[in-house]
Amino acid sequence: MLTPHNGQQTTDKNPLRQTRDNIYSKQKSKQKSKQKSKQKSKQKSKQKSKQKSKQKSKQKSKQKSKQKSKQKSKQKSKQKSKQKSKQKSKQKSKQKSKQKSKQKSKQKSKQKSKQKSKQKSKQKSKQKSKQKSKQKSKQKSKQKSKQKSKQKSKQKSKQKSKQKSKQKSKQKSKQKSKQKSKQKSKQKSKQKSKQKSKQKSKQKSKQKSKQKSKQKSKQKSKQKSKQKSKQKHFQDMAPNTKVPDGRMDGRTDGRTTPKQYPSAYGGG
């Protein structure tokens, strides 16, 4: 099917025309495809260009930021270097001032030391002279003191010898008196011990005699009691016989009632 310029459709059964139409349609389709491909390529190129531009802008921004950071770092480093240089210069100036002050102080100290050394040397010379004079005086005084000490030592030795002799005599007398007192005390102690032993022996003998007498009296009392128990009752006795208390039967001992005994009433 071919479309003429006026837009009317015509149907031809001629094969040549059909082939032409086919060729023409193919060409159109090719052109369309080309156009499409071109458009696509354009779009792609546009996109690529956009991407590239974006990347470039990014890179540029990065570079700018880097440059800025570098500049800032440079500025900072410059400032630091300036500060350091200032500090160094200050330190140097301080050091110089210190060195100057030290030198001045050294010079002053040297001068002072010189003056002191001079003064010391003067003082030493004075002291030496004084010491010499003192030594001389000391030696003289020592000699005098030695002589005095010798005399004193002699006197002391004499006094000591006298005192020792006195002490020895005193000690001997004390020892003798002590020995005498010891002998006396021993004799006294012996006498006392003898007296004590005698007294003890006497006491023991007395105690023994007392015990023996007690035992004898007990034995006698026991025997008497036994004998009395064996004797008849005083009521059964004859009228002229004696009562155990030593009176005759029928007589009173100054009492209104006769004396009663427990044995009379059957008591033990």
Q: State pLDDT tens for residues 95-104.
A: 999 999 989 9
Asked if residue 249 lies in contact with residue 234, where contact means CB atoms within 8 angstroms, the answer is: yes
- Split at pLDDT 50, 70, 90, the class of 240 is low
- Split at pLDDT 50, 70, 90, the class of 235 is low
- Split at pLDDT 50, 70, 90, the class of 167 is very high
| Helix residue ranges, H only, the chain | 15-230
- Split at pLDDT 50, 70, 90, the class of 4 is very low
- Per the DSSP assignment, residues forming a β-bridge with 2 are 10
pLDDT exceeds 60 at position 197? yes
Asked if residue 176 lies in contact with residue 168, where contact means CB atoms within 8 angstroms, the answer is: no
Each residue's pLDDT tens digit, 108-134: 989 988 998 999 899 989 989 988 998
The predicted model scores a pTM of 0.24
Asked if residue 72 lies in contact with residue 65, where contact means CB atoms within 8 angstroms, the answer is: no
CA distance 74 to 67: 10
Q: Give the pair of three-digit tokens for residue 60.
A: 């540029």
Each residue's pLDDT tens digit, 77-99: 989 899 989 998 999 999 999 99
For 258, other C-beta atoms within 10 Å of its C-beta total: 13
pLDDT exceeds 60 at position 1? no
Asked if residue 249 lies in contact with residue 241, where contact means CB atoms within 8 angstroms, the answer is: yes
pLDDT exceeds 60 at position 255? no
Q: Give residue 179's pLDDT.
A: 92
- Split at pLDDT 50, 70, 90, the class of 246 is low
Q: Give residue 268's pLDDT.
A: 45
Torsion of CA 39, 40, 42, 43, to 10 degrees: 110
Q: Give residue 169's pLDDT.
A: 92
Q: Give the pair of three-digit tokens for residue 268.
A: 């033990």
Q: Tell me if residue 62 falls in helix, strand or coil.
A: helix
Owner of token pair 């015509």 = 10
CA 54 to chain centre: 80
Identify the residue with better confidence: 14 or 13.
14
Highest mean pLDDT among 23-37, 80-94, 250-264: 80-94
Asked if residue 202 lies in contact with residue 195, where contact means CB atoms within 8 angstroms, the answer is: no
Using alpha carbons, select from 32, 2, 27 the residue that is nearest to residue 14. 2
Q: Give residue 247's pLDDT.
A: 52
pLDDT exceeds 80 at position 256? no
pLDDT exceeds 60 at position 241? no
Q: Give residue 151's pLDDT.
A: 92
Segment 36-43 mean pLDDT: 86
